[in-house]
Amino acid sequence: MPTISQEFIDSPEFHRPDAERRIFSDPPAIPQPDISWYFASEVRKPRRSHLLTADQERTLFLQYNYARWMYVVVASSDAEASRWLRVANERKRMLVEYNLALVLAMVVRFVGKNHPEFDDLVCEGNMRLVRAVERFEVDRGYKFSTYACRGIINQVIRCLQQSERRAMNLAFESTAPDPMLALGDMVDLREVMHGAGLTDIERTVIELRFLKPDTMILEDVGKVIGVGKERTRQIQAEALEKLWLEW
């Protein structure tokens, strides 16, 4: 698909006759997202009525990118550009708010709601969600959740790795503190490993890092498998993502 600007995702729908009517007037109106559940004091869990259908999701993404396209390429005056910018920001807000549950679910399932950095991880996941909304190509035909999920998981892993480095810098090398051990508190890692499609080296890293009585730090695991510390960290992240997806 040709790209006119990196600030929007083009679509053939934009270039059809009566595109604005087809995109904005023909589809049923989509209600504003209800995110009251997100700020509740109890465990935050949305009701199904708070989620988008596939048709609503496609409509919002087309409206969002059409408005960005109009703002960047077509608008012939400052007033028109401002109007389309407001529309784009409104649709972007709706898409983000409708998908807050996705971030929450990823963080809860990955580290548990009692993790000491839970709120920070949710914030990081939300920022990744915003970037996913900006970059999602709805015409490719797959679900937004499928696209956004990988980015959110990767962001959580990076944040946990940063936490690990901070802990190690505080002279806890000998005890190998690792926030990702929380995954082992929720599931039987050995059982999940059987169906996760891990390579031999990924399986070795997980066993040495999380499943041995005396767990090893990344640097020592790297010596066992013959690679450097950073490469070992990458292998660990790839293996944990496979384990999460299998779980």
Same domain, 25 and 134: yes
Which tokens hold the place of 117? 């950095």
Per-residue H/E/C for 155-172: HHHHHHHHHHHHHHHCCC
Cα 151–192–104 angle (5° rounding)?
A: 35
Tell me which residue of 215, 211, 118, 216 sits closest to 159, measured CA to CA.
118
Q: Residue 210: give the domain boundaries.
A: 187-246
Weakest mean pLDDT among 43-47, 227-231, 232-236, 241-245: 43-47
173: in domain: no
Q: Which of 224, 88, 17 is nearest to 236 (CA)?
A: 224
Confidence of residue 48 (pLDDT cuts 50, 70, 90): low
Q: What pLDDT shows up at residue 233?
A: 84
Is 177 within the bounds of a domain? no
**Mean of pLDDT values over 89-116:** 90
Asked whether residue 66 is assigned to any structural domain, the reply reads yes
Q: Judge whether residue 18 has pLDDT over 80.
A: yes
Number of domains in the chain: 2
Residues 23 and 123 in one domain: yes
pLDDT of 219 over the 70 cut: yes
What mean pLDDT comes out for the span 80-100? 94
Together in a domain, 138 and 21: yes
Whether residue 131 is found in the same domain as residue 23: yes
pTM: 0.66
Same domain? 131 vs 16? yes
Among 34-43, 130-139, 157-166, 177-186, the minimum mean pLDDT is found in 177-186
For residue 175, give every residue at least 6 positions away whose Cβ sits within 8 Å of its Cβ, in sequence order, or none: none
Task: Answer for the pair 149, 106: CB distance below 8 angstroms, yes or no.
Answer: yes
Residues 41 and 96 in one domain: yes
Q: Is 17 in the same domain as 104?
A: yes
In a domain, 182, yes or no: no
What amino acid is encoded at 149 in this protein?
C
Judgement on whether residues 120 and 196 belong to the same structural domain of the protein: no
CA dihedral 172, 174, 180, 181 (to 10 degrees): -120
The CATH number of whichever domain residue 100 belongs to comes to 1.20.120
Give tens-digit pLDDT for 121-143. 999 999 999 999 999 999 998 89
Greater pLDDT, 236 or 62: 62
* 135 and 227 part of one domain: no
pLDDT number for residue 206? 85
**38: which residues sit within 8 A by CB, 6+ positions away?**
44, 46, 100, 104
Using alpha carbons only, what angle is made at residue 75 by residues 69 and 77, rounded to the nearest 5 degrees?
155
* Residue 7, domain member (yes or no): no
Which tokens in the block code for residue 88?
């784009």
Q: Which amino acid is at 207?
A: E
Is 44 inside a domain boundary?
Answer: yes
234 and 126 in a common domain = no
Residue 216 maps to a domain: yes
Regarding whether 214 and 119 lie in a shared domain, the answer is no
Q: To the nearest whole number, what is the mean pLDDT of the chain?
A: 81
Q: Is residue 176 part of a domain?
A: no
Angle (CA) 134-155-142 rounded to 5° is 45
185: tokens are: 């508190």
